Every structure is written in structure tokens, then in C-alpha cells.
Amino acid sequence: MTADLIVYNISKLYTPYHKPPVKKEKLREIIMIKDAFIAVKDEMIIAVGSDHYEMYIDSDTSLYNAQGKVCFPGFIDAHTHLVFGGSREHEFADKLEGIPYIEILKKGGGILSSVEMTRNATFEELYEKSLKSLDQMLRFGSTTIEAKSGYGLNLETEIKQLEVAKELNQFHPVDILSTYMGAHAIPIDYKDNHEGYVDQVIEDLKVIKEKELATAVDVFCEDHVFDVNLSRKLLNKAKKLGFDVKLHADEIVSLGGTALAVELEAKSADHLMAASLKDLQELGNSNVIGNLLPSTAFYLNKNYANARMMIDLGVGVAISSDYNPGSTPSENIQFAMQLGALKMKMTPNELLHSVTVNAAYALGLEKKLGILDVGYQGDFLLLDIPNIEYFFYHYGINHVKDVFKKGRLVVKNERVIGRK
Ligand SMILES: [Zn+2]
């Protein structure tokens, strides 16, 4: 079989090869091919190897010289809040002065101000703003992302957010999987009636399903927001309607969201900074991905999730950006990975798994994404680094130069060039 595209002269190609969820010592095992090439046909990889690619060439094949760059699979960011109105830099000074979040909320700031700005934004405004963020994500190497709603807290605005993501998915090289997160916070009009709000979200689920605006449902399972019972009620209903489920679990206090994720066979339990040992043991014995979001701990100056212990317990770990207007206003998944190394003591090979195969598994995309091998989609990155260790050592900059999505060049020298 001959290829549509061959990328050659890759100094080192790194890829996981174990099927996810990848756990424990297998997280350290990846393949490295020197002087590598990748051949793609009809969006899929037809060969990966060393040196000899002549047999895949015909007169229609395009050849791309990687000029000695390193190749990784495209990154998968399995937890983002891509679409929201406005920004919150006006709270930044208060935050730096150490004014508690609850005080900022009382002044009309915090998440409810993002809700207000999202409700007031037009579709076009949200679209243009999210497009910029999506371009940033792609430049940093994220070729597939998850995007949550949750800044509307009413059906009309939640739909607007999800429709923006749907439109972007059609037009932009990055593939977007949408998650409905009406249960992100309690809107003011329900502040004394959490259950009433959950019942409303359950009603709205049917509309989201009918309009095919999301494939998963998420809930902020936390003290003073959605407790374990309300979260269970909502996610059970979501499962019955055919949604995948996932949770923001045990971020601030140890409430039991992680155990609930295991009970419901969720796709992932996310954050986990405060998860109890017992709950993490259960997570380790399950196939639920533990999705860690170290940029959030960094930005909020909090303790990092205990990744080393989780890996020892058998948790299939992923790492995502958690891009959002309050606790992580950064699209840079590379920085999240570098924090994984510097602050959570994960190794480079473990971290590559965390943004590829295990993240793909958290989104149900493991059959086509996360590994560079025959039969997988042609999503890969060319990086200006000498080896994988250097990626973590030289932190805070963008190492990704070129990005290929479905075998098509979509970022060249850090510039987005390809639209669908
Ligand atoms: Zn989040």
C-alpha cells in the first residue's frame, strides 16, 4: 500500500504501545525508534519504522522532512472548560493579596461572574474567543480535547456553549468531545434548593441528548455544591440516557466522589487532590482513569495530587490542562506535563502515557488515538528537542513546531495553517 504522506528524517519517535488503561510499571514502558518515519493514508497510519520507506511511495505521495525533530503522538486534553464568556483578571489582585475565594464570590466575582458573562455573550463572541483558545491548544500540541459546558447554569446558555463547541469541532482541526456540565455550580436562584436544581439538570439532560450536543455528563461533586447523593442521582440518570459519566471528585475535601466514580464505572475521576487512601485503592482496582490537573494546584497554590501513590495503587493516570477562567486560565498542556514531572515526580514515560493512551481511554477513543502504530489515526507532533527528557527539563516554552492531524499538516512552525 502506498501513502498519501510520509514524514521522514525523525531523529527519535516515542510512543506508548500498551493498551489502556496503562498502569503501574507499564507506564514506564514506551517504544523509541531512531531515524524514524511515519506513513499515513486516508487519515490512518499505515507504517511506522526506521529508515526504509521507499516501498510506500508512489507519484501522489507527499514527503515531509522532519529535519531531525522528535515525534510524539498528538496530545489529548481530556478535561477543559473551553467555552466561556469574559475573563477574571479583575479578581487577580484580590487573589494575590490572599482574599479568600468566598469573599471574592460575595463581591460578585468567582464562577458566578463567569456565568453572568457567558449568559450575556453572543454566540459569535463565544465562538471567536474559544477559537483563539483552541488555536493555542493546537499550537501546544493538543489534537483532541474534551470541552465542558457549565457556565450557563440554565438550559439556554448551556446549549449555546455546547453549540459553539459543536461548530468549532466542524471547522477546526482539533477534534472536540463535548461534556454537559449543568451541575458545575449552584445558580443563585437555587441556592437553598440544591436538589431542585439537580432535578432541573436531569430534565435538561433529555434536551441535550435529543440535540446530540454532548456525549458525556460531568458534575462538580464537592462540599456545598453537589453532594455524593445528588451526584449519584444525576449521573445514574445520565447513564440511563446513554451518556458517559465523569466527576470533578475530591478536589477540596474528601467527600467520596472518587468512590462514586468507581461505583458508576465513570470514564474518569478528575482532580483527586483530597481523595482518601481507601477511595484511591478502589480507583486503582478499577478501570476508571484518575485524571490529574496539576496546573490547577499550581495556580491555586495548593497541594498536588499524590501521583506516585496513585501509580503504586494501580490507578491509570491521565493529565489534563483543566483550562478554565477561574482556577487555570492556561491552555498549555505541556506546562501541566512539566508540573507532573517537577511537582508530582512522575517520569517522562509515565507523563507521555498520561496525555496519550490513558487520556484517549478517558474519552473512549483508545481504539484510534494515543499510539503511533498501524491502524491508529495520523495525529502526531514534531518537537524541537533532542530527547524526551529535555521536554520536561526545559520548561515553560512551546517545544511543538509542527502538528499533523489525521495525516494533514495543521501547524507549521507554531502557526496554525490548516482548517477543515
Ligand atoms: Zn474542571
243 and 201 fall within a common domain: yes
Q: Do residues 292 and 409 share a domain? A: no
pLDDT per position as a tens digit, 243-268: 999 999 998 889 999 999 999 999 99
Based on the fold, state whether residues 63 and 100 are members of the same structural domain. Answer: no
What's the pLDDT at 109? 81
- What burial letters (b/e) apply to 10-49, b meaning 16+ CB within 10 Å? bbbbbbbeeebbbbeebbeebeebeebbbbbbeeebbbbe
Asked if 306 and 280 sit in the same domain, the reply is yes
Q: What is the pLDDT of residue 149?
A: 98
- Domain range for 87 is 76-362
pLDDT over 60 (residue 96): yes
Choose the final residue of a domain: 362, 386, 407.
362
Are 260 and 124 contained in the same domain? yes
Q: How far is the CA of 286 from the centre of ligand 1 (A)?
A: 22
My answer on whether 117 and 190 are in the same domain is yes
In this structure, what DSSP letter does residue 234 have?
Answer: H
**Predicted local confidence at residue 74, as pLDDT:** 98
DSSP letters of 128-159?
Answer: HHHHHHHHHHHHTTEEEEEEE--S--SHHHHH
Kindly report, residue by residue over 375-390, the tens digit of the pLDDT.
999 999 999 999 999 9
Statement to judge: residues 297 and 237 lie in one domain: yes
User: What per-residue confidence (pLDDT) applies to 239?
Assistant: 98
Does 98 score more than 90 pLDDT? no
Is the pLDDT score of 168 beyond 90? yes
Please identify, among 362, 388, 403, the residue that sits at the C-terminal boundary of a domain: 362
The rounded Å distance from CA 18 to ligand 1 centre is 28
Of 343, 362, 381, which residue is a domain's last?
A: 362
Q: What is the CATH number of the domain that holds 378?
A: 2.30.40.10
CA of 48 to the centre of ligand 1 (A): 35
Residue type, 4: D
> What does the pLDDT read at residue 420?
57
Query: Is pLDDT at 105 greater than 80 in this prediction?
Result: no
Question: For the chain, what is the domain count?
Answer: 2
pLDDT of residue 186: 93
List CB contacts of 406: < 8 A, sequence separation 6 or more: 43, 377, 378, 379
Q: Is the preceding omega at residue 294 within 30 degrees of 0, hence cis?
A: no
Verify that 100 and 183 share a domain, yes or no.
Answer: yes
- How many Å lie between the centroid of ligand 1 and the Cα of residue 399? 25
Residues with CB under 5 A from ligand 1 (ion): 322
Judge if 267 and 310 occupy the same domain.
yes
CA of 369 to the centre of ligand 1 (A): 22
Same domain as 65, residue 84: no
Q: Is the pLDDT assigned to residue 305 strictly greater than 90?
A: yes
Q: What percent of the chain has pLDDT over 70?
A: 100
Same-domain check for residues 42 and 82: no
The CA 36 to ligand 1 mean position distance, Å, reads 37
344-372 average pLDDT score: 98
Ligand 1 centre to CA of 248 (Å) is 6
Query: What confidence score (pLDDT) does residue 178 get?
Result: 98
Q: Are residues 130 and 192 in the same domain?
A: yes
